Amino acid sequence: MENNNLSYYFPCTYLNNLPIEIGGYTINMIKTDILVIGAGPCGLFTAFEAGLLKMRCHFVDALPIPGGQCAEIYPKKPIYDIPGFPSILAGELVDNLMEQIAPFKPGFTLGERAESVEKQEDGSFILTTSRGTKLQAPVIAIAAGLGSFEPRKPPIENITDFEDKGVDYIIRDPQKYAGKKIVVAGGGDSALDWTIILADIAEEVTLVHRRTSFRGALDSVEKVMDLAKAGKINVITEAQCVGLNGNGKLNEVIIKQKQEGEFPKVVDNFIPLFGLSPKLGPIAEWGLNIHRSAIEVNTLDYSTNVPGIYAIGDINTYEGKLKLILCGFHESTLMVQSAFKHIYPDKKLSFKYTTVNGVNGFEE
């Protein structure tokens, strides 16, 4: 099975790839102490608290970048209720968390959705992602927020035939489009920002939007219009992509423009960027107690009904729950204490302040 996982975008020094045999195939297994599903702010902070207790974390996230809602929905909005920061941009908070956890060298498997979990005889879990990556850990921390962000797809009848064969809903690696002819569809920040970035990478970029005005940030709209005026990109407004053609691989998008009607455009890739909507997805099938799309936990340690699986941040529910970042930080702090006892039932855990002990990161 092809495996394009993006683990290599971030330092993953604890990948400990152990080849295992499954169904006649040799698969590299990523092993860690705490497997964190979701690299949003609450998930990320887990790597710090776990690191203080000498436990390693590896993250799996369906998005191609860490940061969860802060990175995907509102990176440029200020947050005013992070203790010690009168105001901090959501994107900056993510950058700071990444810097704070760096000494503990967490691993990242990005752009892959956690699909299924199997309990092993030794009590550990093997998780399989949407791209077939296998990861093993004695503890799973689900920090999946509102769920996995699923792309909103345009209503083109045969679009699924061309998924991963020219149609991409998420840009994982912009260099993939070097020298390619691209049609981007959409009118929000994502469509505008990627059009600007791809203008320097792709051979030809065409932005298709169904209105004349765009919803994105004003300076991004201006940049796109300047690029169009300079002849570096094409912008087609009052238009929609209504058909796709190709033989096993996409090679033509049919565009319908209000005045000109339908016409074909030769392309290598079609990238519809109409936003992402969160769905609990496969986690709902893992035998966990779920209430209104959230995972029920014991507030003593944020454990679920399955020993060894915990849930923290927006994804969990309990009496008095508040979906706030600072609450998720508290939950991850208590959760790792319990995870330590689960992994090392015979070891004594002594509590120490960072002011006393400092932050002793991992050497490799």
Ligand X SMILES: Cc1cc2nc3c(=O)[nH]c(=O)nc-3n(C[C@H](O)[C@H](O)[C@H](O)COP(=O)(O)OP(=O)(O)OC[C@H]3O[C@@H](n4cnc5c(N)ncnc54)[C@H](O)[C@@H]3O)c2cc1C
Does 283 engage in binding with ligand X (CB under 6 A)? yes
Interface with ligand X, residue 205, by CB under 6 A: no
Residue 296 CA, chain-centre distance (Å), reads: 23
> Per rule CB under 6 A, is residue 98 in the interface with ligand X?
no
Shortest distance (Å) from residue 180 CB to ligand X: 26
Question: Min. distance of Cβ 344 from ligand X in angstroms?
Answer: 26
Task: Point out which span in 93-101, 153-161, 321-329, 336-344 binds ligand X (CB under 6 A).
Answer: 321-329
- 75 contacts ligand X (rule: CB under 6 A): no
Query: Cβ of residue 231: shortest distance to ligand X, in angstroms?
Result: 37
Q: Do residues 251 and 266 lie in contact, with contact meaning Cβ atoms separated by under 8 Å?
A: yes
With contacts defined by CB under 6 A, how many residues of the chain interact with ligand X? 38
Alpha-carbon distances, residue 99 vs 5, 15, 56, 345 (angstroms): 23, 20, 16, 31
Q: Are 240 and 246 in contact (CB under 8 A)?
A: no
Q: Tell how many helices (H) and how many strands (E) occur in the chain.
A: 7, 24
Q: Does 113 bind ligand X (CB under 6 A)?
A: yes
| Residue 62 binds to ligand X (criterion: CB under 6 A) | yes
The reply on whether position 336 binds ligand X by CB under 6 A is no
Query: From the CB of 315, what's the least distance to ligand X, in Å?
Result: 6
Residue 113: Cβ-neighbour burial (10 angstroms; 0-12, 13-18, 19+): buried
Name residues contacting ligand X, limited to 143-202 (CB under 6 A).
Answer: 143-149
Instruction: Using the minimum distance from each CB to ligand X, give the nearer residue, 21 or 164.
Output: 164
d(CA 58, CA 263): 47
Site for ligand X in 291-320 (CB under 6 A): 313-315
Concatenating the DSSP letter of every residue in 11-57 gives: --TT---EEEEETTEEEEEEE-SEEEE--SHHHHHHHHHHHHTT--E
Chain residue whose CB lies nearest ligand X: 145
The answer to whether 192 and 221 have CB atoms below 8 angstroms apart is: yes
Footprint of ligand X on this chain (CB under 6 A)?
37-43, 60-63, 68-70, 73-74, 79, 81, 113-114, 143-149, 281-283, 313-315, 323-326, 328
